[in-house]
Structure 1
Amino acid sequence: MHKHYTVRFAKGALPLRTPTEGYFLDPELGQQKDILTEDDVYCSCLAKTLCHVPVPVTVGFYAPFGCRLHMMLDKITALMQQEAAQREAEELRRVRWQPRPVRGWGFPRLLWYLVFLQPVITELHLRRKNVKFLFIRFSAWQYAGTDKLWAGLVTTLCEGIRHHYGALPFSVYSVLGNKPAATPGFCQREWHCRRRVCLALLALLAALSLGVGLLYLSVGARAPSHGAAGGSLLRVFGGAATTLSGSGLLMAVYSVGKHLFVSQRKKIERLVSREKFGSQLGFMCEVKKEVELLTDFLCFLEIYQRRRLRVVLEVTGLDTCYPERVVGVLNAINTLLSDSHAPFIFILVVDPSILAACLESAGSMKGTADNGYLFLNRTVTLPFSVPIMGRRTKLQFLHDAVQSRDDLLYREMTRKLRPGGAGGGGGGRGGRGEGAQLLAVETQAASERAQSRIDAQAARRIQEALFCLHDERDCLYEYVPDNVVSMRRIVNTVPITVRLLQQQDGDFAGPTPRQAVAWVVLANQWPCRLSWVLQCLEDRQQAGGAPEARARLWNVFCDNSRELHSMTKALQNVLDLDGDPELFERFLGSDFPFTVAEAQTLLRCTVNLDHSIRRRMGLIRAVSALKPPSPPKSPAHDGPRDAGGANHAPGANHAPGAFQSGQGSGHVPAHAGEAHQPWDQGHGGKPRPVA
């Protein structure tokens, strides 16, 4: 049902290569890579978009169940870390401040800032471009047996952040920390002294010192030269001062120790284990307080480290759980995203067809998620449908499958031991090794310059495409829905589509940025109708009767709309995703008359269209094409009719009176015999004579 395609890549100029070819850095091998697969291009575009997308965001990583998901997630993780390192280097060249460490010698400094200083969100902090990603992977399959799968999601998030930054800093912040404040005016100071904490600590230390001094004097007053009454009075005041000050310090230490040994994960698990915890007043409020405390701690670390922090939570295995568990996880994600300043990026790795069925069959979602696709659209703010496996990707997978297990293990071990991706030569080939290294350095520099030029061109095209969305002189904004979530979906998808177009057409001879953003709007607003048109084109092409490249998509839709109308019952949930049909007609009919050739080019860059819809339509069309054969004629039933016809013929020849008397009854068999005569297509549609 699907066809593979070849992607052309825009690359830097290299020796013995055209200006549109070159090398790319393989994040898995850490060395130059000549052949780039289609999955690498898609992962690179998504990684670049996630480095600039505003948070919080939920990415719908849509793919069929068991489709190379973990490998693509590993590639996206490596590419995002590579992009973060590049932005970190650019920020260091721009400013003189370096990020503060949180480990080693920077750990005591972090504790000092946690106790005595108040962070302030300034304009300088908001303009920082360097970012650090913290990746946490949550496998729902590991918690599929528990009744509260969503609790496992929240506890995994808390435990991952606690493990990365240490238990002591978060415990100190839980007891003594303060929420970052907004800047008063144009103040550039990021830290203010916490005077109350300092004064309270000085008061406790002074009281403790005074109490210890009084106790020391009371011990000296027991001598015979001093009065007993004065010694007892000093002992009373000294004991009281020491007890009060010491108890205050001990309470602070006890609270820190309690949070140190009793983590947020244990707190939430304790709440869940209680009987009838769901009916307790304010239970979800307590969970949300823990999440807000975690968010404030991350904001504190952002100001302390002088970089932006992004927590990437990859949720996998959700389509293997029961429907009620799936609903709980989605509700937990909505709870975590309720804070508009939460630095969370959720990558929801699911099969949308399975997840939609789970939402529709869940008893607790009756009336809320009767259509699972609509519920997903309300939750996901950046859809990314994993494309069909391309030719190069398939060849790479086949090559890896052919390799033996020992070869793969050897490759995994030598990948980390290889210095800079270049192997050392022998003593007799030292000059050749140095020349190869020099050539590799020059090649890498040329490819980096070409890639930077491509990124600059892509940035200009992305700005041009996004400008078309809010240009009042253009009619495109009329097709954008009034829903804020849908607007974010479109805006987040445009950069990926433009970058993919750039990678395919290095000379920018393909669709314009305006056509690209219009195609994104078309896929977002009418996914069912667009999938139907694309499926009809694919089926016609496979049958050998593909329409002309200049044919318009609207004409293709009109030719097959009657068949789509006959499938409304089977595609009712999918049809509910589409917008206004009149706007669809105006969109493809007059404002954006896409042709078949443009659709085939843009289809390779479409990531916000669910491919499972097309597969479902293809299966329905394939089943409807299997018409049952006509039942064979019964000889016992046709025999008397033939005999009767034979009896009429002699009667007509030998008894003319009988023919005249039976003229009315003989007219019907004449028509019946004519209806069963086979037609000869070669003689103008005339009936062939039957012997």
Structure 2
Amino acid sequence: MATKDTEDDIYAYGLSVALTKVAAPSTVGLYSSCPRRIKGLLRKIETNMKKESERREKKYPPAQKKGSLRNFLSILLHMIFYWPKWSDKHKERKNVQYIFIRFNAWHFTGTDKVWAGLVITLCESFQTIFGSFLVSIFRTSQQIDESVRKTIKESCEKEWLAKKICCLPLWLLTIVTAPLVIGLIAVVIIVGFPVGDSSDDGITAFESMAIATLGVPAAGAVRFTFLLSKNLMFSQDFNIQSLMDKPRMSTQLGFMNEVRKEVEVLINFIRFMEVYERRNIRVVLEITNLDRCTPEKIVGVLEAINILLSGENIPFISILAIDPRVIVKSVESSKSFEGMDKNGYLFLNRIVTLPFTVPEMEISSKRSVFRKLVECQSEFPEGDEIEESQEISYKAKRSPVLQESFMESGISYESQIPLISSTPDRRKHNVTIQKRVKDLIKESLRVISDEGTEGTFNDYLMENSIYMRRIINSVRVSIIIMAARKRELPPAKEVAAWIVLANQWPCRLSWILQCIEDDEQRAEIDKGVTGEDSIDETKCLWDVFCESRIELHLIKDQIKNLLEMDGDPELFEMFLKKDFLFTIKKANFFKAFTVNLDQSIKKELEIIRGSKSLKDTIKSEMTTPLKTGLVLKMNEDDVCKEMKKLKFNETNADKYMQRIKENKLDGRALLFGHNNEIKNALQMSMGEWTDFSIHFLGIKPQAVCPARNSSSYPTSVQPSAISVENLVVGESTRA
């Protein structure tokens, strides 16, 4: 039964078909944030393109077959005695061979020039695929300069042009001189060089002629042998590495030129094999892990692709498998762009000729990947766990340092090692606990990957395999710590939801936990003054976030990097407001076991927030700012109805509502009108205008400068009417 094609199978097939049609050179951008998915797509693309190559070769077989001694000798003779004449007609051939070369940029990140590692990888791959001896023969015998190019171009030969010396083909001279040289050598060996009368002019003349005859072929053979030995000992990648090690500035200035020559040798080699085998050859260069390098090295590789691997009739197809967001930021922060208009997207678009953004996985595919990762990271069997616990217990008992430390404190060290077998009853109890832990781990991971009718994780499961692995490992570790600390194990759904929350929105969750901590400290300080013992632990975390989001907006510029770590802000609202209604009590419980939340984030927020909470400076009854989209849909009656929530003086509120209707201040007018004109039309006091502008316009009232003539207010300095919620909640992009 045929298996059903997955999404990635379809994407890989579509892209592989496109790659078989594109004209070289081309640079394909394979955009995805999931390294595991990129790796799988590249593997499938390679398989599909090889199948297409085999299909074409069956229909249009190549001229030569590989692997035979006859074919190898034929290649050597063609390399030594002929120049290949490659023309545009060769592009019309239907059969094609694809050579796949994988360049992992991370392997060369320790070098000064990562792009030089790209060329080194090409050279090493060619030597592996075609053989070092064959490549060395080519470098020795096929040194093509401008005069040779001109001769080949002006020749009327179709494919092969014989090398000539003194207007005679090299192969003919070799055939003529070879028997003569062999005969002379035989005579010299048999007769020898006579040592006698100087009057023997015949023998002397013979010796002179023999030396003269052997001299030219011998010199050529010696030179060829020397160059061949040199190329075998010092390959192309060795030459490039030696150039990189030279610190002289003159050498560095000519480094790119030397590397270009080595690339040209590879291109000429491909052209030779195309003419000889009578088929097209395309080198598919897969560039991976470039987004893990530093900005300067990323720019260097991109420029090398643009300079070295592009040009007329260059048979390279480069697949740039990257996370474009990381690449763009690295390009924009590079020193190479100082003083220029920094736009990483334009720079990337100038290099990439075929962008392919991998669409997001469907939820069924995400679940399937998650289940496979869970199976790959399965736990030890129960017996192994017990054995391991007993071994740890045995080592602990034999540790004098550990025993002494516990004896000094008056505590039994067995009680301080959780889930460790000491007595038969305790061992039995520990087995029960271990079984409960295993069941809870399995159930927690199951609720994430299974389809549910309520509170599902469909919208919160990301396609990145690294993200999934973090969730799996965090669930396992957190539950084990809960059991070890003898805490009551919560429901599996709550454990899974909390781990996902901490993993996907670390900044916002840290902010909420910091606000709760500050409120608890303030309640403890004010105890006995206000009569309140503690805060309300039944309050939902979303309510805590809503009360403090204005503070978050005020410091958003200081925590921009932290906010960028978070996922979709709308999903964050749906998570806490609709699907998983976590309370302060639950947050305080899970906080001690949250291993996948970086505590330094919370510490940074604590420092920025200061010893005295900024919330004390904001009216506690202030209504949350409205979203821009909601304000935009309001008519005049909706604006009046919403304004009642501001709790203005009843007399003033009636006047303001009347003025709203008189001036037709609907949502569009509020958002796109000048703030000074709106203020003059409503004639509010400063305090009331502050509340109104924060609620409807989402801006700091200080940004509005008073002016008698509103028409003189420069348009360029008008404060943007952007909602505070959109600025805060929408600060980050989807992870």
Q: Which residue of 2 aligns with 1:150?
A: 115
Match of 1:164 among 129, 153, 158: 129
Quick one: distance in 2 between partners of 1:73 and 1:369? 34
Q: Once the 2 structures are TM-superposed, how far is the Cα of residue 677 of structure 1 from its aligned partner?
A: 9.3
Q: Which residue of 2 aligns with 1:320?
A: 292
Over 3 Å counting, the alpha-carbon distance change for 1:395 and 1:188 in structure 2 is farther
SS at match of 1:40: helix
Quick one: distance in 1 between partners of 2:356 and 2:189? 73
Quick one: distance in 1 between partners of 2:126 and 2:349? 29
1:251 aligns with 2:223: yes
1:335 aligns with 2:323: no
Q: Once the 2 structures are TM-superposed, how far is the Cα of residue 630 of structure 1 from its aligned partner?
A: 6.6
SS at match of 2:111: coil
Q: Which residue of 1 aligns with 2:48?
A: 79
Name the amino acid aligned to 2:26. V
Q: Is the 8 A contact 1:369 1:375 kept in 2?
A: no
Per-residue deviation, residues 621-665 of structure 1 (Å, max 9, x unmatched): 989xx9x9971369xxxxxxxxxxxxxxxxxxxxxxxxxxxxxxx
Query: What is the correspondence of 1:594-613 to structure 2 with a 5 Å cutoff?
Result: none
Q: Which residue of 2 aligns with 1:140?
A: 105
Query: What is the correspondence of 1:427-442 to structure 2 with a 5 Å cutoff?
Result: none
Match of 1:90 among 52, 59, 82: 59
1:385 aligns with 2:354: no
Quick one: distance in 2 between partners of 1:185 and 1:265? 34
Per-residue deviation, residues 314-361 of structure 1 (Å, max 9, x unmatched): 111111111111111112212222432111111111111111111111
Q: Which residue of 2 aligns with 1:446?
A: none
Q: Is the 8 A contact 2:193 2:207 kept in 1?
A: no
Q: Is the 8 A contact 1:99 1:307 kept in 2?
A: no
Question: Percent of counterpart pairs with the same letter?
Answer: 33
Quick one: distance in 1 between partners of 2:567 and 2:157? 59
Query: What is the correspondence of 1:457-496 to structure 2 with a 5 Å cutoff?
Result: none
Query: What is the correspondence of 1:190-205 to structure 2 with a 5 Å cutoff?
Result: 190-195=159-164, 196-202=169-175, 205=178
SS at match of 2:5: coil
Name the amino acid aligned to 2:117. G
Q: Once the 2 structures are TM-superposed, how far is the Cα of residue 290 of structure 1 from its aligned partner?
A: 1.2
Q: Once the 2 structures are TM-superposed, how far is the Cα of residue 675 of structure 1 from its aligned partner?
A: 3.9
Match of 1:101 among 63, 66, 74: 66
Q: Which residue of 1 aligns with 2:620?
A: 632
Per-residue deviation, residues 64-110 of structure 1 (Å, max 9, x unmatched): 15352111111111111112112222324xxxx64432655421121
Over 3 Å counting, the alpha-carbon distance change for 1:620 and 1:163 in structure 2 is same
Quick one: distance in 2 between partners of 1:105 and 1:199? 21
Over 3 Å counting, the alpha-carbon distance change for 1:161 and 1:239 in structure 2 is same
Q: Once the 2 structures are TM-superposed, how far is the Cα of residue 39 of structure 1 from its aligned partner?
A: 1.1
Q: Is the 8 A contact 1:207 1:245 kept in 2?
A: no
Q: Is the 8 A contact 2:263 2:308 kept in 1?
A: yes
Per-residue deviation, residues 568-612 of structure 1 (Å, max 9, x unmatched): xx9xxxxxxxxxxxxxxxxxxxxxxxxxxxxxxxxxxxxxxxxxx
Quick one: distance in 2 between partners of 1:156 and 1:133? 17
Name the amino acid aligned to 2:620. P
Quick one: distance in 1 between partners of 2:115 and 2:154? 41
Name the amino acid aligned to 1:336. L
Over 3 Å counting, the alpha-carbon distance change for 1:346 and 1:334 in structure 2 is same
Q: Once the 2 structures are TM-superposed, how far is the Cα of residue 208 of structure 1 from its aligned partner?
A: 3.6
Quick one: distance in 2 between partners of 1:241 and 1:305? 37
Quick one: distance in 2 between partners of 1:154 and 1:170? 15
SS at match of 1:342: coil
Quick one: distance in 2 between partners of 1:308 and 1:223? 65
Quick one: distance in 2 between partners of 1:103 and 1:327? 44
Per-residue deviation, residues 91-139 of structure 1 (Å, max 9, x unmatched): 24xxxx6443265542112111212233233576332111111111111
Match of 1:176 among 133, 136, 141: 141
Name the amino acid aligned to 1:350. I
Q: Is the 8 A contact 2:26 2:310 kept in 1?
A: no
Name the amino acid aligned to 2:127. R
Structure 1: which 5+ runs fail to align?
A: 1-31, 407-569, 571-613, 635-670, 685-691
Match of 2:27 among 34, 58, 65: 58
Over 3 Å counting, the alpha-carbon distance change for 1:68 and 1:369 in structure 2 is farther
Q: Is the 8 A contact 1:58 1:347 kept in 2?
A: yes
Quick one: distance in 2 between partners of 1:293 and 1:275? 25
Name the amino acid aligned to 2:619. P
Match of 1:238 among 203, 210, 219: 210
Match of 1:674 among 642, 645, 651: 651
SS at match of 1:134: strand
Quick one: distance in 2 between partners of 1:161 and 1:175? 16
Q: Once the 2 structures are TM-superposed, how far is the Cα of residue 38 of structure 1 from its aligned partner?
A: 1.1
SS at match of 2:35: coil
Quick one: distance in 2 between partners of 1:209 and 1:229? 24
Quick one: distance in 1 between partners of 2:370 and 2:142? 54
Q: Is the 8 A contact 1:116 1:197 kept in 2?
A: yes
Quick one: distance in 1 between partners of 2:193 and 2:251? 62
Q: Is the 8 A contact 2:64 2:71 kept in 1?
A: no
Q: Once the 2 structures are TM-superposed, how far is the Cα of residue 280 of structure 1 from its aligned partner?
A: 4.6
Quick one: distance in 2 between partners of 1:338 and 1:287? 14
Q: Which residue of 2 aligns with 1:653?
A: none
Per-residue deviation, residues 526-555 of structure 1 (Å, max 9, x unmatched): xxxxxxxxxxxxxxxxxxxxxxxxxxxxxx
Quick one: distance in 2 between partners of 1:202 and 1:104? 21
Q: Is the 8 A contact 1:310 1:345 kept in 2?
A: yes
SS at match of 1:312: strand
Structure 2: which 5+ runs fail to align?
A: 379-555, 557-563, 578-614, 623-647, 662-735
Q: Which has the higher contact order (CA 8 A, sep 6+)?
A: 1
Q: Which residue of 2 aligns with 1:121?
A: 86
Equivalenced residues, count: 404
Quick one: distance in 2 between partners of 1:99 and 1:239? 41
Match of 1:294 among 266, 274, 282: 266
Q: Is the 8 A contact 1:288 1:336 kept in 2?
A: yes
Q: Once the 2 structures are TM-superposed, how far is the Cα of residue 299 of structure 1 from its aligned partner?
A: 0.8
1:49 aligns with 2:49: no
SS at match of 1:337: coil
Match of 1:276 among 230, 239, 248: 248
Name the amino acid aligned to 1:314. E
Quick one: distance in 2 between partners of 1:184 and 1:364? 40
Per-residue deviation, residues 349-404 of structure 1 (Å, max 9, x unmatched): 11111111111111123245611111001111110111101244324424533545
Q: Once the 2 structures are TM-superposed, how far is the Cα of residue 210 of structure 1 from its aligned partner?
A: 7.1
Q: Which residue of 1 aligns with 2:95?
A: 130
SS at match of 2:60: helix
Q: Is the 8 A contact 1:43 1:75 kept in 2?
A: yes
